């Protein structure tokens, strides 16, 4: 593509170099079996562990971003941020029915008393409380101090 443009410059030169490297990597991959490629990667990791770990981290980040973009595109979100609340995707958790305020059975006489009744009998008296016994004074002693040696 850069060859057909007829322009020369640093960008065109970089595009030529990148194309040559990609062709070289593609040819190298075609000549080898998957087991050979795995052996080459293991050997490189042993020779240059730092570079290998940085490369693996970069590839992991790129793969994560690519899969996130692909999943967002398949959902139809268009790559934008996902809203915090989406009524179409919100789970509804069933809850047990609440207790009824009105009883199911009608009391004899046919009328319900709308005033709530206290839980304690009407003639109940509060229990007298006693004051706690006076505290006996305790003698505090200063902690023993030791000099560091």
Residue 102: name the closest of 93, 94, 89, 111 by CA.
111
pLDDT by residue (tens digit) across 37-49?
899 889 999 999 9
Q: Look at residue 23 in the predicted model and tell me its pLDDT.
A: 92
Dihedral in degrees, nearest 10, Cα atoms 55, 60, 63, 65:
-110
State the first-to-last Cα distance of the chain, in angstroms, to the nearest integer. 82
Which tokens sit at 13? 């030169």
Residue 3 CB contacts under 8 Å (≥ 6 apart), including other chains: 16
Q: What is the pLDDT of residue 2?
A: 45
- pLDDT < 70 stretches in the chain: 1-7, 76-87, 91-92, 99-129, 131-149
Length of the chain: 149
């Amino acid at each position: 593509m850069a060859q057909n443009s007829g322009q020369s410059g640093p960008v065109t030169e970089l595009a030529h170099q990148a194309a040559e490297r990609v062709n070289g990597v593609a040819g190298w991959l075609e000549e080898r079996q998957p087991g050979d490629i795995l052996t080459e990667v293991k050997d490189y990791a042993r020779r240059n562990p730092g570079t290998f770990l940085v490369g693996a981290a970069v590839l992991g980040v790129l793969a994560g971003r690519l899969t996130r973009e692909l999943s967002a595109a398949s959902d139809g979100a268009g790559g934008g941020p996902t809203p915090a609340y989406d009524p179409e995707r919100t789970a509804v958790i069933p809850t047990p029915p609440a207790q009824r305020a009105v009883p199911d059975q009608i009391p004899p006489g046919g009328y319900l008393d709308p005033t709530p009744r206290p839980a304690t009998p009407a003639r109940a008296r509060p229990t007298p409380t006693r004051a706690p016994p006076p505290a006996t004074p305790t003698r505090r002693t200063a902690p023993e101090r030791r000099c560091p040696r």
